[in-house]
Structure 1
Amino acid sequence: MNYVLDFTPVLDGLPDLLAGCLGTLLLALGGMAIAIVIGISGVVLRDSRHKPIRWAVKGFVELIRNTPFLVQIYFIYFALPLAGLRLDPTPTAILALGINGGAYAIEIIRGGAQSISRGQVEAGLALGLHKGLVFRLIVLKPALRAVFPSLTSQFILLTLTTSVASAISAYELTSVAQRIESESFRSFEVFGVITLLYLGISWLMMSFFSTISTRYFSYPVK
């Protein structure tokens, strides 16, 4: 049986696919913003003097890192409404991506923070700097510089993970592709093209992170 390629449905649906790319970027950037907040907050709380807080952060990290993302997004979308919290697909996807990425960001940033010598922290305190300023300038910025490549890789992976959001009908590239494929039955053409589109999105995100690293950390991401 000879398969004849026909990209007509893909070309007809190209505006929708490009809009899906924007939806993917929206989910990714929203999730990353939440992940950074969770990551930095988790590093601070992980070193809390109070054991229950430290245990809560450790439990959160272990729970998220050892359960599938699909289960996490299903829980937020289908289970939380039973507790009175109901979100639309797009906010659900952003929240789930942020929580998932945040658990990994905690461990990545914490690894960088632990590389900062205690002497540097004590020197900052000896100069009369506030603890918050010491953390931001002496601990956090050098830590982010040290782990930025690892954090970038994790966020690129988070960007690709947005495709799972199609399971709850969030508007992103994979959900658009599935609709076009179900209407045209041109699986090879549709998913071949979105593979290239995901490569383009990954390259765009890498360029974005490279710009950030060059501007704020003085070295490019490769």
Structure 2
Amino acid sequence: MKYGLQFRDIFAAWESILDGVLVTLTLSVWTMLGGLTVGVACAAAKVYGPGWLQRIVTAYVEVIRNTPLLVQLFLIFFGLPSFGVRLDGMTAALIALVINLGAYTTEIVRAGFQAVPKAQIEAGHSLGLSSLQVFRYIVVFPALKSMFPALASQFVLLMLATSVVSQISVEDLFHAASIVQSRTFRDFEVYTVIGVLYLALAFAFRGLFAGIYYWAFVRR
């Protein structure tokens, strides 16, 4: 049996696919910002905070990193209504993705903080700088330089992982692909196009992060 590839119907639905790309980009950007914020705060708490706070952060990181993102998403979207908390799909997806990314980012940022030599921190204190000033001027920049490649890779993985939000009917790129597939029944063509688009987005993000790294750390 011969199978003839036909992409015409797929490309005819370009508006739906483009809308899905925009939703995926929106989710990715906001999740990166939120996850980085959570990661920096939790890493600072884990490295410099009191013991009880370190234990809470450690528990958060271990639970999130050792359970599937899909389960976390379903708990927020389908589980919270049992307690009277109802969220729309986009909000639930964003919260789940931020919580998930925050756990992974915490460990990356923590490693970056701890990579800063203690002698530099002690020198900052000896010059009369406050703890906040030492953290801002002595710890953050060297740590960010060392952890940036790992963060960039984690952000790209996060962008690819956003495809799971289609399971709660968020109209992202994968959800758009499912709609087009149900109308055209051209499974191979649809998912080939979507795969190429995810690949293009991944390369675009990697190029963006490489440019940021060059201008922020190499060129200066």
Query: Same-fold call, TM > 0.5?
Result: yes
Alignment of 1:1-222 (within 5 A): 1-218=1-218
Once residues 217 and 106 of structure 2 are traced to their aligned partners in structure 1, the CA distance between those partners, rounded to angstroms, is: 20
Deviations 1:47-71 (A, max 9, x none): 3453221110000000000000000
Deviations 1:109-160 (A, max 9, x none): 1111111111111111111222112112211211111011111111100000
Once residues 106 and 36 of structure 2 are traced to their aligned partners in structure 1, the CA distance between those partners, rounded to angstroms, is: 8
TM-score normalized by the length of structure 2: 0.96
Deviations 1:157-191 (A, max 9, x none): 00000001111111210000001001111001100
Once residues 48 and 138 of structure 2 are traced to their aligned partners in structure 1, the CA distance between those partners, rounded to angstroms, is: 18
After the TM superposition, which of the residue ranges 76-85 and 66-75 deviates more from structure 2? Answer: 76-85
Percent identity over the alignment?
41
Once residues 109 and 44 of structure 1 are traced to their aligned partners in structure 2, the CA distance between those partners, rounded to angstroms, is: 8
Once residues 83 and 37 of structure 1 are traced to their aligned partners in structure 2, the CA distance between those partners, rounded to angstroms, is: 27
Post-superposition offset of 1:94: 1.4
Other structure's SS at 1:47 match: helix
Question: What amino acid does structure 1 have at the position aligned with 2:16?
Answer: D
After the TM superposition, which of the residue ranges 20-29 and 75-84 deviates more from structure 2? Answer: 75-84
Other structure's SS at 1:128 match: coil
Once residues 47 and 195 of structure 2 are traced to their aligned partners in structure 1, the CA distance between those partners, rounded to angstroms, is: 42
Post-superposition offset of 1:204: 1.2
Shift in alpha-carbon separation, 1:133–1:85, aligned structure 2, 3 A: farther
- Identify unmatched segments of 5+ residues in structure 1: none
Contact 1:177 1:194 in 2 (8 A): yes
TM-score normalized by the length of structure 1: 0.95
Contact 1:31 1:96 in 2 (8 A): no
Shift in alpha-carbon separation, 1:30–1:42, aligned structure 2, 3 A: same
Once residues 200 and 111 of structure 1 are traced to their aligned partners in structure 2, the CA distance between those partners, rounded to angstroms, is: 30
After the TM superposition, which of the residue ranges 79-88 and 123-132 deviates more from structure 2? Answer: 79-88
